[in-house]
Amino acid sequence: MTSRHNTLSFLLLALTVAELCRAAGSNAVIGVILDHASIAGKELLTSMEIAVEDFANPGNKSLLLLTRDSHGNPLLVASAVLGLVEQPEVRAIVVDSISPQEASSIADISHRANLVPLISVTGSSSASRAGRSQLLQMAADGSICLASVVKSYHWRSVVVLYEEEAYRDVSGLISSLSSSIKAIGSEVEQFLPLPCFSSLQDPKPLIRQKLEKLKEGESKVLVLGWVWVVGEQVGGYLDSIDPFIISSSMQGVIGIKPHVREETEEYKSFSTRFQKRFKLAFPDEQRWAGPGMHALRAYDAMKVMIFAMEKANNSSTKLFDEMLSTNLTGLSGAIEFEDGGKLKRSRASFQIVNVVGRSYREIGSWSEESGFCRSGPIYLPSRSPTVMTERRSLRIAVPAAGVFNLFVKVTQDDTMNRTMVTGFSVDVFAVVVKHLSYPLSYELFPFYGSYDDLVGEVSKKVYDAAVGDIQIMSSRYHSISYSQPYLDSGLVMVVKQRREEDKGWIFIRPFTGSMWLLIAVMCLYTWAVVYAIEGGFVGRAAGEEQSAFPLDSLLWSSLSSFFYQYREPKSNLSRIVLATWLIVVLILNSAFTSTLTSMLTVSQLRPSIDDIDSLKNSGASVGCNGNSFIVAYVIDVLGFHPSKVVPISSVAEYRNAFSSGRIAAAFFVEPHAKAFLTLHCRGFAISGEAYKLGGFGFVFPKDSPLALDVSTAILRANERGDINRLERSLLASSKCVGVENDDDHGGGSMDPAAFRMLFFVLGGVASAALFISWVSSTRKDFFCRLILTKQK
């Protein structure tokens, strides 16, 4: 009986509306498509009725709402739209939700039916509008806001769950959300579709099954606990949800909802009227809060339509353009559309809320201009932040076929039946993991292919990462992500050392040129001081005889002092100066003799090849690691002919190739060169310039959030000196790099710096003696002249 009564009422309402439209052809009709049985549909209808009362012009045309029930079925939404656009009285249509794809599917009919505009109140705006579908969307794109929340709390891994029927525009959702999440350095690990809940009698078992599979899946990015974050499509409905459901099922949920200025008089007036009207129209429905966001948007959608209809003056072609040019502030916020019919993101602002107890509280806000601003702490249930989701250990590959096992060494322990992986790079990674903000479990797996093959396996996600002496190269960035380099490197050339046989002028090499010049100057200065004291320059007292210490004798005495042959001076001051000089000569003579003896008895070693140009001109062959990028670098960048490049597979083979003359030089990355010279520091040396490279780093799959975390941990380890300590302990002997420092091979030429204090003392003593002699001579001369004057 009730069903028959409802059907009869609906038919009478439809006939009444049709009759009214025929009786007043000038009346405007707005089509409304919503789910009459849902609470959201009832709120939409209530809001639009209030908007008609507020904005329709009673002095001119009347405004009628022609409703259609979608029953929550997207197919019925599309068919209802097609039915409404064919009616000439319908000026515009409001839909609770419609995707751009559904709008484009009726675009042709919409064109033929005088371009009837459509406004979607709650539809996603993640995708661009297809075709000329006359669609405006009142929902702002919240993907960047969601990404900002994820970034603010440093969540590296995101799993997106969505209801398939609720999000028909899946490609747009995936594209927009994935781009936003990747832009902040996190990763969308998986998109998990759920069937339409309305089609299931009890969706809970299916959802539980999906979540269990997600937990037990082969997801490899470590996650500490879990946090539920809901988009605006759920967050905007929090005001309409039963508080019992919120308290029992949504604790700790973080959601975004458009910012609403509830303190304004306009909102307060609307909220009061809305609640009274809703309770009157639907007395059986219980409300727990004010109007939801969808209700506010429905009110604003009607406002946009009515204002545009007044400006269009019955012109259907102008109506959509007038609506598109809307620029006003409504209850739901700023309303301004882009050319595609979406709300401008620059005008959008969101509240970030956290469900606590039977309601929610604001923990921050977001706008495109200021980003995410926190205003309060986040609350999570005790299980979320403390219980770690069980994930299997990361599979990390290490290069087992490398030439230098100082960095990665793989050994088989037959007694324990296990593979041992050690080395500098492995130790560095272990230290870096300790600096992560969360525990990381991993297993090391030897990889016996080339470095390029190893990187390729990581890019295919066969392994979760690669650890070793792996060079950071730009050519690999398209498929993988590197960490911050943990060790700097450059390409260097190692050559054999040759003995220096030319000894014709070796007798002058104990002292540098500046040292010889200083000795000559001090010798002449000493001679000049002694000569002046003995009477050559300092004036004699009256009646004093000329000193019998001629100029040639003084000069000869200064020079012969090197051989301990000299004449006895008469003045005590001269004796002091000469004594100091003899001490200096004794020290210089000893240093000269010992250095010259060392140079004559110990062979001087020099690099056999000075630079790469001379190496190429000689036509000699060069060796390099056959499994690394160096082969291609030497050929393509340095310009060596491929026939002159010899691939080497072990450290011993390098030594044999040098000894047999098969290669004249070898190219290494700098850390490998240090390792090689650790074993052969007396017979080889680095020669020529170093070619700067990217350094050694760890490898991760493309856009892996773990790469950023490990890079941060590497910086922490470097700042605390942990990596430097490892390098000093494992590569300590690498400081011996051949004959770049002559002190390692019998001593080098001595410069004035080693004797500066000695010459300073000599100069000071000589200068002081000269000054005292001059004062004494001047005093004697004064008294002699005084006596002679009195005698006269």
DSSP collapsed to 3 states, 21-70: HHHCCCCEEEEEEECCCCHHHHHHHHHHHHHHHHHCCCCCCCEEEEEEEC
Q: Residue 418 corresponds to which tokens in the numbers above?
A: 């296990």
Under DSSP, the state recorded for 471 is B
* 3-class DSSP state of 497: strand
pLDDT for 122: 75
Q: For residue 54, is pLDDT > 70?
A: yes
- CA 695, chain centre distance (Å): 16
Give the confidence band of 550 by pLDDT, cuts at 50, 70, 90: low
Average pLDDT of the segment spanning 492-505: 72
* Pairwise CA distance, residues 359 & 199, whole Å: 29
Q: Using the CB atoms, write b or e for 505-541: b if 16+ within 10 Å.
A: eeeebbbbeebeebbeebbebbbbbbbbbbbbebeeb
Whether residue 506 contacts residue 596, with contact meaning beta carbons closer than 8 Å, is answered with: yes
pLDDT for 544: 47
pLDDT for 458: 92
pLDDT digits (tens, 9 = 90+) for 262-318: 888 998 999 999 989 988 888 887 766 678 888 898 999 999 988 888 888 777 778
**Largest CA-CA distance found in the chain, in angstroms, rounded:** 165
Average pLDDT of the segment spanning 676-697: 82
> What is the rounded average pLDDT for all residues in the chain?
77
451 vs 16 pLDDT, higher one:
451
Percent of the chain at pLDDT exceeding 70: 76
Least confident interval from 323-327, 639-643, 733-737: 733-737
pLDDT for 19: 42
Give the confidence band of 449 by pLDDT, cuts at 50, 70, 90: confident
Q: For residue 691, is pLDDT > 70?
A: yes
Q: Is the pTM of this model over 0.75?
A: no
pLDDT for 25: 45
Give the confidence band of 390 by pLDDT, cuts at 50, 70, 90: very low
Nearest Cα to Cα of residue 403 among 685, 652, 684, 629: 652
Give the confidence band of 461 by pLDDT, cuts at 50, 70, 90: confident
pLDDT for 60: 45
pLDDT for 372: 84
* Pairwise CA distance, residues 664 & 477, whole Å: 34
Nearest Cα to Cα of residue 238 among 198, 292, 294, 162: 292
Whether residue 85 contacts residue 110, with contact meaning beta carbons closer than 8 Å, is answered with: yes
CA torsion sign, 86 to 92 to 96 to 100? Answer: positive
Least confident interval from 4-18, 56-70, 323-337, 673-687: 4-18
* Pairwise CA distance, residues 598 & 256, whole Å: 81
Q: For residue 114, is pLDDT > 70?
A: no
pLDDT for 748: 62
pLDDT digits (tens, 9 = 90+) for 519-536: 888 888 887 787 777 765
pLDDT for 256: 86
Give the confidence band of 102 by pLDDT, cuts at 50, 70, 90: low
Average pLDDT of the segment spanning 72-77: 75
Q: For residue 32, is pLDDT > 80?
A: yes
Q: For residue 59, is pLDDT > 60?
A: no
pLDDT for 58: 55
Give the confidence band of 486 by pLDDT, cuts at 50, 70, 90: very high
pLDDT for 18: 46
Q: For residue 17, is pLDDT > 50?
A: no
pLDDT digits (tens, 9 = 90+) for 425-442: 999 999 999 998 778 889
pLDDT digits (tens, 9 = 90+) for 286-299: 766 678 888 898 99
427 vs 113 pLDDT, higher one:
427
Kindly list the structural domains of the chain, giving each domain's residue range(s) and its CATH number in brackets, ordered by start. Answer: 2-139+264-344 (3.40.50.2300), 143-262+347-386 (3.40.50.2300), 394-479 (3.40.190.10), 493-497+605-711+721-745 (3.40.190.10), 508-602+751-791 (no CATH)
Average pLDDT of the segment spanning 454-461: 91
Q: For residue 681, is pLDDT > 80?
A: no
Least confident interval from 18-27, 505-514, 721-730, 746-755: 18-27
Please name the helix (run of DSSP H) or strand (run of DSSP E) that holds residue 212, with its range, or none.
Answer: helix 204-216
Highest mean pLDDT: which of 124-128, 376-380, 635-639? 635-639
Task: Give the CA distances from residue 609 to residues 497, 501, 659, 664, 744, in Å, rounded to whole numbers and listed in that order.
Answer: 8, 16, 15, 8, 20
Q: For residue 237, is pLDDT > 50?
A: yes
pLDDT digits (tens, 9 = 90+) for 247-264: 777 888 888 888 888 888
Sequence-ordered alpha helix ranges (H) in 547-607 = 551-560, 572-601
pLDDT for 3: 43
pLDDT for 70: 84
Q: For residue 389, is pLDDT > 60?
A: no
Q: Using the CB atoms, write b or e for 720-737: b if 16+ within 10 Å.
A: eebbeebbeebbeebebb
pLDDT for 217: 56
Q: For residue 635, is pLDDT > 70?
A: yes
Give the confidence band of 6 by pLDDT, cuts at 50, 70, 90: very low
* Pairwise CA distance, residues 713 & 224, whole Å: 17
